[in-house]
Structure 1
């Protein structure tokens, strides 16, 4: 159903409070849970429908709180953590060196707890965020969008060196 949702939508990524991150993760979890019985999910052997672009820029905020998801043009059946990894990447601005590794690990924990699913651990979320950053870099480069590709690749490098290596010091290959 198409309808208007009053509120504001950010133009770009930025800093979001712990409460906003928790609410965003909970909205994603609610969306995922609502899709588990859809025929395309069940018959395809998938977990959920993934939004695939759940970012602040696809969020309606009301009273400074994330209140609705918008822009479902990339939605497809898939895996919860594939979607949660991308969402954590965008909501935390993961890869932005304005935030320390310790702070981003702490914020990953806030997101994981907000999502509230036992399989959504900080380490798994970080690995999936890195996979999504790498996939975004590759797909945008293939489409000739070098500026976005370079940004995503830089975020992936930062995440690999500062987050994933700390959480999984023996490697993640």
Structure 2
């Protein structure tokens, strides 16, 4: 394989970059890679296909995954999620993942790349279910990518993080929706996922808490000079997460009404 065979892929906070080679993706591997590959193998065996299939390690020590055709939703194709049926599809896809992973038993020597402290160890969660990790091919196959931060977590924590990006829960110019629109879209996502009433009540405070955890994570890693987090902090990502957390917390009563009424 020569460098001419490689097509750099944009996005992803991976040192050394990610490339496409034919119908595969090559990414730098880490201590967590064997556990992640075991997880992805289990998901496909359980019938969940909205994720890459692991193909091993190449001769340069890079993990090899199947290539997911299509384009990443974020940022240029976010409007694809405006039809609420497609937002509902996000909720159903996340639920299918969580159902498939419930009976996954990690390898005894599993090592996970835990970045943000989890709120529990109910499942092996993705921890970055967001538009920047969703590849779509129109109404064809969808896939969540970038599973390298999969680690113990909870279904509600994973869903709360997803709600931040997919609703989205923000008042930033260019992304902001009316509060009523945001509340309605949150209801669409959660209805499609299928939470019962007690779970809906528990989800609401997690929405702001999960965004605040991302701010705190970036602040801590930037203070240590760790990349790419220090760069992201300097670019203002920490301020964005803090503002989104504050907005989401201010509107908590709206989210609860939207999820519980009707």
**When the two structures are superposed, what TM-score results if normalisation uses the length of structure 1?**
0.84
Q: Which runs of 4+ in 1 moved over 4 A?
A: none
Larger RCO: 1 or 2 (CA < 8 Å, sep 6+): 1
Match of 1:111 among 168, 184, 189: 189
Using the TM superposition, name which of 101-110 and 89-98 deviates more. Answer: 89-98
Inter-partner Cα distance in structure 1 for 2:239 and 2:204 = 20
Q: Given the alignment, which residue of 151, 163, 166 partners 1:88?
A: 163
State the alpha-carbon separation in 2 of the partners of residues 109 and 66 from structure 1. Answer: 24
Q: Structure 1 residues 48 and 37, CA, compared in 2 at 3 Å: closer, same or farther? A: same
Q: Which has the higher helix share?
A: 1
Alignment partner of 1:139 is 2:217: yes
Which consecutive residues of structure 2, in runs of 5 or more, have no partner in the other structure? 1-53, 55-64, 108-119, 223-232, 258-262
Rounded to whole Å, the distance in 1 between the matches of 2:71 and 2:216 is 31
Q: Return 5+ residue gaps in structure 1 as ranges.
A: none
- For residues 221 and 160 of structure 2, the distance between their equivalents in structure 1, rounded to whole angstroms, comes to 22
CA displacement at 1:150 relative to structure 2:
0.3
Between the two proteins, the alignment pairs up a number of residues equal to 164
CA pair 25-65 structure 1, distance change in 2 beyond 3 A: farther
Secondary structure, aligned partner of 1:73: coil
The Cα of 1:143 is off from its aligned counterpart by 2.0
Superposition CA RMSD, Å? 2.4
